[in-house]
């Protein structure tokens, strides 16, 4: 299946801009609060930097025919059969 990425070029640019704008805003907030001894920790742990990419991927998924009701952007939705204990054992190689 070939994917046409042309319709998403504008959204990709928006996602990259959102990433850097958010990161810079978080760095500036850290400086204003005089928490400069932490390096860029505030910008990295502040969250929200990747929201633009999440929106881009959601648009691409809908464009490929995945119904919107199957795309979750907020919250942790796990399938009913998921059990963290077995997943942990499986991924730990046990």
What integer pLDDT is reported at residue 66 of this predicted model? 92
Q: Which helix (H) or strand (E) holds 88?
A: helix 84-91
What integer pLDDT is reported at residue 47 of this predicted model? 75
Q: What is the pTM of this model?
A: 0.65
What integer pLDDT is reported at residue 67 of this predicted model? 92
What integer pLDDT is reported at residue 91 of this predicted model? 44
pLDDT in tens, 22-76: 999 888 888 888 776 666 666 666 678 889 999 999 999 998 899 998 888 877 7
What integer pLDDT is reported at residue 75 of this predicted model? 73
């Amino acid at each position: 299946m070939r994917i046409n990425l042309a319709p998403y070029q504008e959204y990709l640019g928006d996602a990259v801009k959102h990433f850097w704008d958010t990161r810079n805003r978080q760095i500036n907030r850290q400086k204003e609060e005089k928490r400069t001894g932490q390096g860029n920790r505030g910008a990295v742990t502040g969250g929200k930097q990747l929201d633009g990419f999440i929106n881009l991927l959601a648009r691409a998924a809908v464009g490929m025919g995945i119904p919107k009701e199957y795309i979750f952007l907020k919250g942790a939705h796990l399938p009913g059969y998921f059990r963290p204990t077995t997943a942990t054992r499986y991924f730990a190689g046990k």
